[in-house]
Structure 1
Amino acid sequence: MTLQDQPAYIIRMRAKPGLGDKLFELATIGMTKSGASDRFIIAREDDDPDTLWNIEVFKSDAAKALYENSPLADELRDEIIDLLAEPPMRIAVHPYSALPLKEHV
């Protein structure tokens, strides 16, 4: 399987004021505990520290489906939804490139 065959998401979530740290903690737990991701980036907006951007690349369609239907995902989803100021934005994508920059120099 190539990187371009792997399913991925770009997700934007905005926590209620002051709950950004908890949102980032739960999102990081989900990425590291699930084992479904091949790689991920969790970023915080400079101008809005309660806004999280997550780019998650799954190992495979099967790994993505297994995680999305797992008790861990259900538990984290409920906790995360309670922290949000608005519905999350989630866009399904497939990576085009994810090479370290030093390989292109």
Structure 2
Amino acid sequence: MRAKPGFGDKLFELANAGMTKSGASDRFILAREDGDPDILWNVEVFKSDEAKGNYENSPLADKLRDEIINLLAEPPMRIPVHPYAALPINES
């Protein structure tokens, strides 16, 4: 996602809030480009297709989606993929 100039911090804040509050993901990565802090990459691994659908149709997703869209300089690029290897983080 490319934020409007100077809105990268707010975009990161909203995306991070969505990932941590939804509970729909096993794990996620939010990354900002070193050369352009207004570009945010989000890689999210959902617990299941059902969890993904429930989140995407939730009031939280609707609220965040509207706020995020207003921050973007251009439509977001979305590429659906399925992970073939992902290890859980050992929290011990």
TM-score range, shorter chain: over 0.9
Match of 1:52 in 2: 40
- Any unmatched runs of 5+ in structure 1? 1-12, 101-105
In the TM superposition, 1:1-105 aligns within 5 A as: 13-99=1-87
CA distance in 2, matches of 1:99, 1:60: 16
Letter in 2 for 1:43: A
Name segments (4+ residues, structure 1) moved above 2 Å: none
- Structure with the greater alpha carbon radius of gyration: 1
Percentage of identical aligned residues: 84
Q: Which has the higher strand share?
A: 1
Gaps of 5+ in 2: none
Could you state the TM-score of these two structures normalised by the residue count of structure 1? Answer: 0.82
Q: Which SS does the other structure have where 2:80 is aligned? A: strand
Q: CA RMSD in A?
A: 1.0
Please report how far the alpha carbon of residue 99 of structure 1 lies from its aligned counterpart in structure 2 after TM superposition: 3.5
Q: Distance in 2 between matches of 1:73 and 1:22?
A: 16
> How many matched pairs?
88
